[in-house]
Structure 1
C-alpha cells in the first residue's frame, strides 16, 4: 500500500499564503512607547520569500526565509507625528532572535521625527523578535496534520514484483 502524502518519505507543504496572513494578524497593531514617544505598526506592506513545512523521516521541519516590509506611525512626546517603514530583510528558520536586522526609515525625516526611531528600536523591535520566535511553532501547529503521518498509518509495503 502506498501513501500519496509520503512518497519517498518526504512531504512538503508551501505555506507562504498562510504566513502572509499570520504576519498581518500578528504584527499589525503592535504598539510601543518610550519617554512619551508612541509608535505602532499600521500595515504589512510586503511579505516575500518561501515558507515550507516538511516531514522527513518522521520529523517535522520548518524551512522559511521571508523579507518583510511594515509601515509604522508615531507620535513624538512634543506632538510631532511621523510615519515610515521597517524593513526586515530576512526572517529565516535558522536566524536567532538577536540576529534579525531592522532597517528603520522615517518619511520626510527631520530631527523632530527621527526621535521616534529610538522607541521603535527599544519597544517595537523586541515585540517583533518575540513574534518571529513563535512563528516556527505556530506554523507546525497549524499545518502539522497536512504533512505528518503516524507510522501506524503508513500501511505495509507493496509486495515484490514477480517476473
Structure 2
C-alpha cells in the first residue's frame, strides 16, 4: 500500500490561493437580515424593509497568503412599508445598485439609493418617503457593514486549516507586511538557474476575462507591470522587471512566471503558474493581456491558455476577483 503523505503544516496549507462561491448564502442572508431594518419618526410614523424583491451579483470568499478576502458586488431591490402620520399604510421600492467590498470596506465611493412609491401619493405618504430617505440608509449601511464579517464567520473555516495562531483578516484586503519589501526592479534579471524538469503533460483549455477601465492604456500597462505600483491593486508584495525573460511574482508569490514579450501599451505575454493544490506541479500556462484604448476608457482582456481541465471555474473567479476587482478597488471603475 502506498504511503499516505503527511498533511501540510498550517502555515503552508493556508498559503495557497483558494476561493469559495457563497452567492446563494448571501441572498439568504440579505433576505433574513435586511427585513429587520426599521426606523421611527417623531410621531407615530414608522417605516422599514419588508422584503428582498431581487438580488443580483456574485459573492465569494478568497484566501491568499493566510488572509481571508471578501469579494462581492451585488445589486439589491427591496420592498419597504410603513405607517404615515394619519395612520395610512404606505409602500414603496428601494434599489441599491451596488453593495460591494469597495464601498463597504474600502470606502471608495458612497452608496446610491433609488426610491419610489408603490402606493398612492399624498402629503402624508410623501412625508413618510422623506423619513425613509433620511433615516433608512444609515440603518441599512450598518447591516451592510456586518455582511463582510458574516461571510468570514460562516465560511472562513472552509478555506483555512485551523490553527490556534491563525486569525482571519476581517478587513478582507491584505496589505503587504510592513517588514516585507519587494526586490528592487533594477536588480531583477532573467533567471539563470538550472533548467527545470520537464513539465508534466496536462490536459488543458483556455479561460478569458475582460473589463473596461476609466484609465489610459499606458497607465494600466504600468499598473500591471511596474513593481512599485502593482501592490496598489494586489494588496501584496510583488517582484517585476518589465522585460522579456525576467521573472515576476504577484500576490505575495501566489502567481509566478516570466515575461515572454511586452509591447507597451498594447500587450503583455507572460508565463503563468498558480500556487494552489489544484494546480499541477511544474505546469505553466500562458497569459496574454491586451489593452485597447477607446475615447473614454480602455478595454483590458486577459486570455489564459493552458488552464488544467477541471480548474476553469476556479481560475475564472480568480481573474475576476483578483485582477478585475483588484484594479476596480483603486477607483478606476469598470464595466464588466
Q: Which has the higher contact order (CA 8 A, sep 6+)?
A: 1
- Between the two proteins, the alignment pairs up a number of residues equal to 152
| 1:143 corresponds to 2:129 | no
Partner residue of 2:241?
none
| 1:123 corresponds to 2:135 | yes
| 1:111 corresponds to 2:111 | no
TM superposition shift of 1:108: 4.1
Partner residue of 2:88?
80
Partner SS state of residue 99, structure 1: coil
Contact 1:72 1:85 in 2 (8 A): yes
TM superposition shift of 1:21: 0.9
Alpha-carbon distance in structure 2 between the residues aligned to 1:56 and 1:92: 19
TM-score by length of 2: 0.42
Return the index of the structure with the highest Cα Rg.
Answer: 2
TM-score by length of 1: 0.82
Higher strand share: 1
- Alignment gaps of 5+ in structure 2: 164-280, 283-336
| 1:50 corresponds to 2:61 | no
Find runs of 4+ consecutive structure 1 residues off by over 6 angstroms.
Answer: none
After superposition, the Cα gap between the structure-2 partners of 1:11 and 1:114, relative to the gap in structure 1 and judged at 3 Å, is same
Higher helix share: 1
Alpha-carbon distance in structure 2 between the residues aligned to 1:47 and 1:33: 26
| 1:64 corresponds to 2:76 | no
TM superposition shift of 1:150: 5.4
Partner residue of 1:101?
112
After superposition, the Cα gap between the structure-2 partners of 1:29 and 1:137, relative to the gap in structure 1 and judged at 3 Å, is closer
- Alignment gaps of 5+ in structure 1: 152-159
Alpha-carbon distance in structure 2 between the residues aligned to 1:17 and 1:77: 38
